[in-house]
């Protein structure tokens, strides 16, 4: 079924101005340029108009207008997604949440925070940490991305191994259905089995089922002690064995990140300085937390011993903020460094059961050799979630264009053969939708499509996403 | 829309015998009696036939047969639910999972366990704990209820305050749709954003959307140290303030259960022996866990001090299993004791934001006074989840029948006015469906109803549940 949409007319723009005010509506090509892409390399499509809303009521009015006029609406947080979820493939209206940036309440007694969707994730971190509270999900783009985008994508991050992903913290949502109806699901409740969980259905639905306008998140007490370890290995296999062994010793670290040597070298070239252990084939970046110095140090000693038993060259320990920042510097700069190495590149986000991650990395190396292309891996060893970066380097444009789909399919086939799937935290969005049938059987895709149609029979909300 | 169903004919019974074998099908009134109720007091309806399946394929065949014949199917775990979810209100087929009791795999490396739905929750606990692993959700009926039932109801338990509910542990499901299609959702993956989360949609759907036939659960390392505290107070308000203060000190206990004096006295009368602190108005039962003795004892000291500051008479500490069992004895026997006091009684399961639980309890006391009826409360203070037990005692049958809906509505109105909802962990099922419109707006109920119809247009699967 092919849906056709109408263009945004001057009358529609006038109506939008009535809804959100004159300065909430952008129409010039220059003003619209930032709304034509997210962080997905090589994907861009301009909207016809961008609307910056400030309330659920405005969202409802915009959606009702769009339904009447059959104009597509693409909701947008900060545009830091990595699968094109916020890119308006069919033009129409971009519905930007950038002005809904209020932290409405930090409820210390209930360990809950209520926020508008445009709040920057890192700002939320700082606001609750100032109160001794903790919101664990920490996607890499946390200083730029928004909570609303995190909910839409089901965002993860390094701390997921111990603390889970965005999904595990959302207790309540106010959302506007494609029809313009405003619903309130859940609340400041950690237990709730009153009907189907629309909260959980909306999380990770990539802006295709509803527009989230208010979010209630549960918080934890902020751990009092934290320590970080940087551990270099000669082989990734040894690092992978170390991860299994740490968990086998009943320690669940806050993070177990890994970086292959190529990613460290790329950061060295970008920063023009030496980084620790750049000669090691792989590094683990392990964070431990807890409430007493003694308990965290006991875990640290044990983890350090396990690393050394598995052949780690060394264990670099950071107990204070400056040292910690130095340890994390390389990890945080990898994407920038790879973009610097090869401005055209392609990033995948496959996930496998934790224990087979070394099979995944070995297979990816074979794929790189087969196609004579550079592939650099880093990511979340504790979660089996690998960010696979294929670099164009000096390849001709047409060869690159032909190579990407081939290599993508090979990587997906490999991950799926290991019991994994095609995206752990970046989403299907625009870039992976053609591959969805590799990951899910036809019955499931059909069921999901009918779910979408139930919410949005006219496919006005974020069309061109998820479904092949 | 009123759906009409056909009766189970001898031909249908013969077909069922072909699917599951002769001894898998029960038809006599005596054999069917246990399948006519769950643990919901006063609710019973016999099925026409009970079918004990052993595989997803058998489930699929039964569902296809039922669809063709327009016969209702009620899936059933062990029948320990408290909202009538497993009661076959429209007769037809009870689909019992009691023979699907295999723990298929304990995957130590990935911290995952794969089970059939008929596995008893407590048996799963013991099996994984023997390996140093931990499956936290612990509904009170854990020695009788099944994991499949826990998934269907989104079951919680005392440890939810620290560890969450069943929902937080399910990573993958094999399920049979009402059409008879078998789908596999998720996997041994802690991160997965490949399409809408059907896993999360099915959890808590009370057997109305699909029949779950295999479950992949994530596990944690088993904490090495545990300590339990029993703490008596003169007023519940003091106990409630203690809970807030403990959490304010950044300690998240494994459990914070509370029991009102009436519940302790009822257990004393049942057991015909003295229990600790039976003269106290309220008791808290606090469990702490961790990986080192020192860390847990540090928390224990702090929690003990906080309790005493808030006027606790005493803090009874259990560090070993026998003492712990003695502390928990009263808590575990409350439901039996109340049934013993008044075989006819009515239990609610309201939940409010944790910090206002004392307002809820105060309001419930007023309701009890207004109606001159005994109401005994216990439950999960850390979650704001209160099990409210209205006792019939010597009330005349007709007065009781008239009173229950009135008092139920008053309790719900109170919980909702405090930002809570009508069920935290027992589900809507048959008993609460008429009250669903108090908790959810019409748009949400309509959306949920259409979701159900999308999965099951003929309403063959567990009709008469959830929807008013």
Contact A354 B220 (CB under 8 A): no
Structure tokens at A120: 């920057």
pLDDT digit string, tens, across residues A135-181? 999 999 999 999 999 999 999 999 999 999 999 999 999 999 999 99
Residue B255's beta-bridge partner residues?
Answer: B287
Residue A316: in which H helix or E strand, if any? strand A316-318
Question: Do A208 and A465 form a contact (C-beta atoms < 8 A)?
Answer: yes
- Residue of chain A with shortest Cα separation from B182: A443
pLDDT digit string, tens, across residues A394-425? 999 999 999 999 999 999 999 999 999 999 99
Structure tokens at A8: 């945004």
Structure tokens at B214: 């295999």
Select from B109, B168, B426 the Cβ nearest to the Cβ of A355: B109
Select from B183, B353, B439 the Cβ nearest to the Cβ of A194: B439
Question: Do A299 and A317 form a contact (C-beta atoms < 8 A)?
Answer: no
Number of H helices, E strands in chain A: 15, 18
Contacts of A385 in chain B (CB under 8 A): 191
Structure tokens at A1: 């079924």
Structure tokens at A65: 């207008």
The CA-atom distances, in angstroms, between A308 and each of A234, A319, B200, B216, B280 are 12, 19, 40, 33, 54
Q: Is B252 exposed, middle or buried (0-12, 13-18, 19+ CB in 10 A)?
A: middle
Give the Cα separation of A336 and B38 in Å (integer): 59
- Residue of chain B with shortest Cα separation from A183: B444
Structure tokens at B197: 């989360």
Contact A200 B205 (CB under 8 A): no
Q: Judge whether residue A344 has pLDDT over 90.
A: yes
With residues binned 3-state (H G I as helix, E B as strand, rest as coil), the percentages for chain A, rounded to 5, are: 40, 20, 40
Structure tokens at A154: 């089901």
- Residue of chain B with shortest Cα separation from A299: B291
Question: Do B428 and B465 form a contact (C-beta atoms < 8 A)?
Answer: yes
Contacts of A205 in chain B (CB under 8 A): 196
Q: How far B7 CA sits from the closest chain A CA (Å)?
A: 29
Contact B193 A424 (CB under 8 A): yes
Distance of alpha carbon A259 from its chain centroid, rounded? 18
Which residue is it, tokens 């959100």? A20
pLDDT digit string, tens, across residues A91-103? 999 999 999 999 9
Contacts of A244 in chain B (CB under 8 A): 109
Contacts of A441 in chain B (CB under 8 A): 183-184
Report angle CA A384, A387, A391 to the nearest 5 degrees: 150
Select from A132, A177, A385 the Cβ nearest to the Cβ of B191: A385
Contacts of B183 in chain A (CB under 8 A): 441, 443-444, 447
Residue B434: in which H helix or E strand, if any? none
Select from B107, B196, B352 the Cβ nearest to the Cβ of A205: B196
| Helix A236-248 vs helix A357-371: crossing angle, to nearest 10 | 160
Q: How far B133 CA sits from the closest chain A CA (Å)?
A: 8
Q: How confident is the model at residue A2 (pLDDT cuts 50, 70, 90)?
A: low
Question: Do B109 and B218 form a contact (C-beta atoms < 8 A)?
Answer: no
Which residue is it, tokens 């069309």? A463
pLDDT at B319: 86
Contact B153 A383 (CB under 8 A): no
Q: How confident is the model at residue A339 (pLDDT cuts 50, 70, 90)?
A: very high
pLDDT at A303: 97
Q: List the one residue out of B196, B463, B456 whose CA is nearest residue A451.
A: B196
Average pLDDT of chain A is 96
Q: What is the mean pLDDT of each run of 10 residues along chain B (468 residues)?
A: 86 98 98 97 96 98 98 98 97 98 96 98 98 96 96 97 97 98 97 97 98 98 94 93 89 95 96 94 96 90 97 94 89 92 96 96 97 96 96 97 97 98 98 98 96 98 97
Neighbour tally for A401: CB within 10 Å: 12
Q: List the one residue out of A116, A160, A112 whose CA is nearest residue A138.
A: A160
Q: DSSP string covering B264-300, please?
A: HHHHHHHHTS--TTTTSSEEEEEEEEES-HHHHHHHH
Q: Judge whether residue A58 has pLDDT over 60.
A: yes
Q: How far B366 CA sits from the closest chain A CA (Å)?
A: 24
Contact B200 A167 (CB under 8 A): yes
Q: List the one residue out of A254, A253, A383 whose CA is nearest residue A306.
A: A253
Q: DSSP string covering B332-397, please?
A: HHHHHHHHHH-SSEEEEB-B--GGGHHHHHHHHHHHHHHHT-EEEEEEEGGGTEEEEEEE-TT--H
Contact B451 A196 (CB under 8 A): yes
Mean pLDDT of A359-374: 97
Contacts of A444 in chain B (CB under 8 A): 183, 185, 195, 198
Residue B199: in which H helix or E strand, if any? helix B198-202
Contact B247 A221 (CB under 8 A): yes
Q: Is B55 exposed, middle or buried (0-12, 13-18, 19+ CB in 10 A)?
A: middle
Beta-strand ranges (E) seen in A1-117 are: 25-26, 49-52, 73-76, 93-96, 103-107, 112-115
Q: How far A418 CA sits from the closest chain B CA (Å)?
A: 10
- Preferred mutation among A84, A183, A194 to probe B, highest tally of B CBs within 10 A: A194
pLDDT at B2: 62
- Residue of chain A with shortest Cα separation from B165: A191
Select from A184, A189, A222 the Cβ nearest to the Cβ of B250: A222
Contact B201 A196 (CB under 8 A): yes
Sheet with B73-76: list strands edge to edge. B25-26, B49-52, B93-96, B73-76
Select from B209, B248, B428 the Cβ nearest to the Cβ of A108: B248
Contact A184 B295 (CB under 8 A): no
Structure tokens at A260: 């292959």
Q: DSSP string covering A195-215, please?
A: SS-HHHHHTTSTTSS-EEEEE
Size of interface A-B (CB pairs under 8 A): 260
Which residue is it, tokens 């048959």? B430
Contact B421 A354 (CB under 8 A): no
Give the Cα separation of B18 and A431 in Å (integer): 47
Cβ-count burial B362-374 (b if 16+ within 10 Å, e if not): ebbeebbeebebb
Q: List the one residue out of B326, B329, B333, B331 whose CA is nearest residue B270.
A: B333
Pairing of strands B112-115, B133-134: unpaired
Q: How far B417 CA sits from the closest chain A CA (Å)?
A: 12
Contacts of B161 in chain A (CB under 8 A): 190
Contact B383 A191 (CB under 8 A): yes
B236 or A360, higher pLDDT = A360
Residue A107's beta-bridge partner residues?
Answer: A112
Contact B195 A436 (CB under 8 A): yes
Contact B193 A221 (CB under 8 A): no
Contact B191 A294 (CB under 8 A): no
Contact B424 A192 (CB under 8 A): yes
Give the Cα separation of B82 and B139 in Å (integer): 11
Give the Cα separation of A305 and A31 in Å (integer): 56
Contact A177 B295 (CB under 8 A): no
pLDDT at B436: 98
Contact A194 B422 (CB under 8 A): yes
Q: Judge whether residue A389 has pLDDT over 70.
A: yes
Q: How far A155 CA sits from the closest chain B CA (Å)?
A: 8
Contact B424 A193 (CB under 8 A): yes
pLDDT digit string, tens, across residues A185-244? 999 999 999 999 999 999 999 999 999 999 999 999 999 999 999 999 999 899 999 998
């Amino acid at each position: 079924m092919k849906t056709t949409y109408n263009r945004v007319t001057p009358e529609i723009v006038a109506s939008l101005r009535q809804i959100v005010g004159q300065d909430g509506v952008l129409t010039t090509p220059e003003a619209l340029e930032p709304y034509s892409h997210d962080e997905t390399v090589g994907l861009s499509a301009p909207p016809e108009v961008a609307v910056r809303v400030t309330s659920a009521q405005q969202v409802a009015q915009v959606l009702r207008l769009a339904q009447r006029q059959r104009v597509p609406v693409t909701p947008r947080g900060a545009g830091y997604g990595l699968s094109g979820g916020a890119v308006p493939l069919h033009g129409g209206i971009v519905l930007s949440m950038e002005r809904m940036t209020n932290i409405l309440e930090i409820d210390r007694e209930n360990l809950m925070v209520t926020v508008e969707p445009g709040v920057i994730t890192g700002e939320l971190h700082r606001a609750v940490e100032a109160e001794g509270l903790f919101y664990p999900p920490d996607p890499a783009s946390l200083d730029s991305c928004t909570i609303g985008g995190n909910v839409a994508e089901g965002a993860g991050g390094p701390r997921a191994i111990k603390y889970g992903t965005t999904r595990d913290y959302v207790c309540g949502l106010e959302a506007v259905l494609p029809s313009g109806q405003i619903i309130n699901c859940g609340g400041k409740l950690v237990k709730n089995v009153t009907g189907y969980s629309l909260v959980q259905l909306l999380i990770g639905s990539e802006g295709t089922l509803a527009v989230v306008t208010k979010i209630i998140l549960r918080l934890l007490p902020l751990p009092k002690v934290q320590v970080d370890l940087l551990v270099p290995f000669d082989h990734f296999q040894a690092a992978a064995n170390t991860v299994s062994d740490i968990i086998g010793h009943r320690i669940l670290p806050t993070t177990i990140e890994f970086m292959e040597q190529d990613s460290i070298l790329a950061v060295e070239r970008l920063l023009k300085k030496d980084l620790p252990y750049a000669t090691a084939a792989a590094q683990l970046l392990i964070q431990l937390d807890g409430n007493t110095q003694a308990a965290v140090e006991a875990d640290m000693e044990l983890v350090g011993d396990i690393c050394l038993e598995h052949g780690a060259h060394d264990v670099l320990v950071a107990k204070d903020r400056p040292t910690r920042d130095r340890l994390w510097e390389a990890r945080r700069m990898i994407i920038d460094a790879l973009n610097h190495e090869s401005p055209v590149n392609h990033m995948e986000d496959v996930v496998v059961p934790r224990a087979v991650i070394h099979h995944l990395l070995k297979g990816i190396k074979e794929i790189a050799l087969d196609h004579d292309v550079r592939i650099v891996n880093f990511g979340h060893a504790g979660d089996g979630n690998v960010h696979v970066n294929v670099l164009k380097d000096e390849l001709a444009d047409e060869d690159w264009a032909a190579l990407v789909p081939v290599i993508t399919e090979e990587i997906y086939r490999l991950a799926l053969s290991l019991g994994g799937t095609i995206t752990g935290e970046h989403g299907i969005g625009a870039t992976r939708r053609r591959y969805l049938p590799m990951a899910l059987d036809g019955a499931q895709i059909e069921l999901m499509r009918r779910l979408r149609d139930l919410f949005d029979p006219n496919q006005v909300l974020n069309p061109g996403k998820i479904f092949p």
